[in-house]
Amino acid sequence: MEPEKILEKIKAHKPTVLGSKDFSKYAILLPLLERDGEIHIVFEVRAHTLRRQPGEICFPGGRIDAADANPQAAALRETREELGIRSEEISAVYPLDYMVSPFGMILYAFAGTIDPEAKFKPNPSEVDSLFSVPLSFFLETPPEIYYMNFNIQPEENFPYDLIEGGQDYSFQPRQMEEYFYLYEDKVIWGLTARILAHFVEIIR
């Protein structure tokens, strides 16, 4: 291949996360709601009939569909479907950082405002219940952080003979932080808590 052709292809390439075409892609909305003169954050308790993470606490959101124009459109669609509210009841939507999980998932997060007059009609097939927490709680209460360790275990047919050091090669173990917020009888943890901590860091 000629050098000019190579440079043309590089110039035309739009960079993204390496391997992202094979990743599952999701989008969520962190919903802000004014209640009793104070800003609250709205959370869902996932339906107990769901196959994945039943009964856990999360933000509205889900997988990005091919019909969604972009991640924000997916987050808004999922929020409408799960909370049972109208498009015009969601406003001031802005992106937070997106996350690439070690489990092959990219999560796009957004924060937006819900109309205080909105009447929630949660979808029972996905949502068991809703609750809100004053934003002040998260501003005043740092998350508890714990760590999970991942050990590297190559498969039996791994070609040790092709790498320097062979079976004595020093693979680096990986560590992941898990965030927890404890509010009354609610445990907010995992990606939801991590996004929440990131949001609090931004508004500080």
CATH code for the domain in which residue 170 is found? 3.90.79.10
Q: Is 1 inside a domain boundary?
A: no
User: According to the model, what pLDDT value does residue 40 have?
Assistant: 98
pTM, rounded to two decimals: 0.89
User: According to the model, what pLDDT value does residue 194 have?
Assistant: 95
Q: Is 6 inside a domain boundary?
A: no
- Residue 94 identity (one-letter amino acid): Y
Q: Is 85 inside a domain boundary?
A: yes
Question: What is the mean pLDDT of the segment spanning 175-179?
Answer: 91
Q: Is 82 inside a domain boundary?
A: yes
Question: What is the mean pLDDT of the segment spanning 77-88?
Answer: 96
- Quickly tell me which residue has 């020093």 as its tokens: 170
User: According to the model, what pLDDT value does residue 38 have?
Assistant: 95
Model confidence over 46-76: pLDDT tens digits? 999 888 889 999 999 999 999 999 999 999 9
User: According to the model, what pLDDT value does residue 159 have?
Assistant: 95
Question: What percentage of the chain exceeds 90 in pLDDT?
Answer: 79
Cα angle for residues 100, 41, 81 (degrees, 5° grid): 70
**Residue 141 DSSP code:** S
User: According to the model, what pLDDT value does residue 18 have?
Assistant: 86
Q: Is 8 inside a domain boundary?
A: no
Q: With a cut of 90, say whether residue 104 has pLDDT above it.
A: no
Question: What is the mean pLDDT of the segment spanning 37-51?
Answer: 94
The number of distinct structural domains making up the chain is: 1
Q: Is 78 inside a domain boundary?
A: yes
Question: What is the mean pLDDT of the segment spanning 116-138?
Answer: 96
Does residue 30 contact residue 99 with C-beta atoms inside 8 Å?
no
Question: What percentage of the chain exceeds 70 in pLDDT?
Answer: 100
Greater model confidence, 127 or 21: 127
User: According to the model, what pLDDT value does residue 185 have?
Assistant: 94
- Average pLDDT over the chain, rounded to whole? 94
Q: With a cut of 90, say whether residue 174 has pLDDT above it.
A: no
Residue 194: domain span:
18-203
Residue 173 CB contacts under 8 Å (≥ 6 apart), including other chains? 149, 150, 151, 152
Query: CA-CA distance, 147 to 175, in Å (whole number)?
Result: 7
Region of poorest pLDDT, from 25-34, 58-67, 163-172: 163-172
Q: Is 28 inside a domain boundary?
A: yes
Q: With a cut of 80, say whether residue 102 has pLDDT above it.
A: no
Q: Is 197 inside a domain boundary?
A: yes
